[in-house]
Structure 1
Amino acid sequence: MARRKPNPVEDVIAIISRLPWWVGVALALVAYVGLHSFALREGVAVVQPGNAGEFVTRTVFRTLAGVGQYLLPAVFLVGAGLSAYGRHTRRTLHRTVATGPDHAALNKMSWKKFEALVGEAFRRRGYSVTETGGDGPDSGADLALKKGGELFLVHCKQWRTIRVGVSIVRELYGAMTARGATGGFVVTSGVFTDEALAFAKVRNIELMDGKALHALISGVSVPPRFFRDPLSITTSGAPFCPECQSRMVKRKAKRGTHAGQMFWTCSRHPDCRGRRPA
């Protein structure tokens, strides 16, 4: 199949659609005012000897400005419209999942919607979000987050039943190294293998499974420090609760058949009964 030729107009619209809608509107206004004023300039009434080239150049630019004063703002406004529509779609998607009883809805959406949902969830936690992925679900780092002058990369994996392995985490780590990112997140609607968890633990990468993502979207069961200081979370060594994804604390059993043995219990105990073996 022949490769599709690039379209500059579509490229500009795509870029503007990733920016806040008001940026596109402002650019449209600036473009119209600037080109309109240039198009209204009067040309030289009489061509002076030796100035024919300048006369032709001015005429060409004035003609282009006359067309561009309508075309370029229209392109910017289309991009602004797509940006506003995308923002509305992401908010609606976020609200739908946040009000759902569980994270089952995550498994029913396309990878593109999943990526948009993750971006919206981080945006609501104060991050500026830029979509960096390509046209497929396996494009490396899909989102770039910035907060407090630091860069974080996000790799989205909308897999429904497959466990996310260590190769995906390594892929994100490579992107982090190349771009000098402070940390990263791998987000999935499924779960992670033990190898992936071990690899991420010492590399400032946070792994968020379906339960953690749903908790993030719902605004519950996520430690407040998670979004203020990601590095303190990824290097603390305490695992996440399998029930609510809060951090866990180590305790010693005082009675029963496991008396004297250490185990992890949810920091929200007794509201949450999640446990893990130490």
Structure 2
Amino acid sequence: MARKKRSAFDDIVEIIARLPWWVGLLLAVVSYFGLHALTITPPSTTPAIPGQIGDIIVAQMFYMMAFYGQYLLPAIFTVGALVSILRRHKRTQLYQNVSHAPNQKALEHLTWHEFELLIGEWFRHQGYTVVETGGVGEPDGGVDLVLSKQNQTYLVQCKHWKAVQVGVNVVRELMGVIAVQNATGGFVITSGRFSDEARRFADQAQITLIDGHQLRRLLRQHSKISTISPAAQNIPVSPETAPICPKCGATMVLRTASKGANAGRSFWGCSQFPVCRATRPI
């Protein structure tokens, strides 16, 4: 079935709806006063010298565009802001319902689009700014979410697969997009499982994998991922002095190894442990 052709109105509303609601309202105010200023003085309809009729027609056209645009554009931006508010409410409700669901199969009841909305909302709870790159029936270019945090960008691919393992090709494709877009790193999140090959490949790339089991646990916690208790001892460190995780972009914390050859030694560990196991020497 052919996709229904969208109008320019639909496209603009969709773009604004993907932004924070206050951005749409700000654009509405700015566009109104900006275009209104162009309509204060109507252009002359009488040519001062012969041959200016063409210039007068062009000036009249711009005047009419500004006159109607001062009402039309703010209305479109306001509609986009309202859609953004409604979608925000939907995402919040979805996150609340799934994170508090007693049934561990709550993820399986979601559509693929709801799964993406859920993941986006979860990252917002972790302090990321989230941009959803695609909607229903729209191509996403291999990336479902774009995350921003501390001036760094991360790409997210969501795979709502219930039975099939996510293979290495998905991880490899995301790594290619990360390289092209010069992003800091990425995440692949699934409601199912990852193959062993995919996990090995991700360990060598700037990509964090979160499978269905990990995701359910993180959702149940319903708190920022930085509050996850690490297995190793954490020593409080000022956020200003703590480095950024080179793999996922979270703040690192100072830890002390409790066992192994390095027992008793301090090191930097990712605050997202055990989801991210990146470390850095001091």
TM tier, smaller: 0.7 to 0.9
Equivalent residue, structure 2, for 1:181? 183
Does the residue aligned with 2:186 lie in a helix, a strand or coil?
strand
- Show the 5 A alignment for 1:215-230: 215-217=217-219, 218-219=221-222, 224=227, 229-230=244-245
Structure-2 change in CA distance of 1:40 and 1:12 (3 Å)? same
Inter-CA distance 222–17: structure 2 relative to 1 (3 Å threshold)? closer
State how 1:37-186 maps to structure 2 within 5 Å: 37-44=37-44, 46-50=46-50, 51-133=52-134, 135=137, 139-186=141-188
Tell me if the contact between 1:215 and 1:221 (Cα under 8 Å) persists in the aligned partners: no
Aligned residues: 239
Whether contact under 8 Å (2:27, 2:77) holds in the other structure is: yes
In 2, the alpha carbon distance for the partners of 1:233 and 1:73 equals 39
TM-score (normalised: structure 2): 0.75
Q: Which residue of 1 aligns with 2:23?
A: 23
Q: In the alignment, is the contact (CA less than 8 A) between 1:137 and 1:157 conserved in 2? A: no
What do the CA deviations read for 1:20-79 (whole angstroms, capped 9, x no partner)? 111111111111122223223233264211432332222111111221112111111111
In 2, Cα distance between the equivalents of 1:185 and 1:25?
32
TM-score (norm 1): 0.76
Q: Does the CA contact (< 8 Å) of 2:186 and 2:248 recur in 1? A: no
User: Contact between 1:9 and 1:75, CA under 8 Å: does it hold in 2?
Assistant: yes
Q: CA deviation at 1:167?
A: 1.2
- Gap change, CA 1:164 and 1:215, over 3 Å in 2: same
Q: Once the two structures are superposed, what CA deviation does each residue of 1:126-181 show, in whole Å capped at 9, x if it has no partner?
A: 11111224635885121111111211111100111211111111111111111122
8 Å CA contact 1:150, 1:182 repeated in 2: yes
Distance 1:103 1:229 in 2: 33
Residue 198 of structure 2 corresponds to residue 196 of structure 1: yes
State how far apart, in whole Å, the 1-side matches of 2:94 and 2:108 are.
13
CA distance in 1, matches of 2:25, 2:125: 23
Question: Structure 1, unaligned stretches of length 5 or more?
Answer: 235-248, 252-266, 269-278
The CA RMSD measured in Å over matched residues stands at 3.0
SS in structure 2 of the partner of residue 231 of structure 1: coil
Rounded to whole Å, the distance in 2 between the matches of 1:53 and 1:195 is: 68
Query: How many Å separate the matches in 2 of 1:180 and 1:113?
Result: 28
Question: 1:201 Cα deviation (Å)?
Answer: 1.1
Indicate the residue corresponding to 1:276 in structure 2. Answer: none
Q: Evaluate the alpha carbon distance shift between residue 250 and residue 93 of structure 1 in structure 2; reply closer, same or farther with a 3 A threshold.
A: farther
User: % of aligned pairs identical?
Assistant: 42
Contact 1:131 1:143 in 2 (8 A): yes
Counterpart code for 1:115: E
Structure 1 pair 63/136, CA: closer, same or farther in 2 (3 Å)?
closer
The equivalent of 1:240 in structure 2 is none
Q: Distance in 2 between matches of 1:189 and 1:48?
A: 72
Deviation (angstroms), 1:5: 5.3
Structure showing greater radius of gyration is 1
* 2:32–2:70 CA contact under 8 A, matched in 1: yes
Q: Distance in 2 between matches of 1:33 and 1:221?
A: 41
Work out the CA distance in 2 between the residues paired with 1:157 and 1:223. 24
Deviations 1:226-262, CA, capped at 9 Å, x for gaps: 9x9543679xxxxxxxxxxxxxx878xxxxxxxxxxx
Shift of 1:3: 7.2
- When residues 119 and 250 of structure 1 are mapped into structure 2, their CA distance, relative to the original with a 3 A threshold, is farther
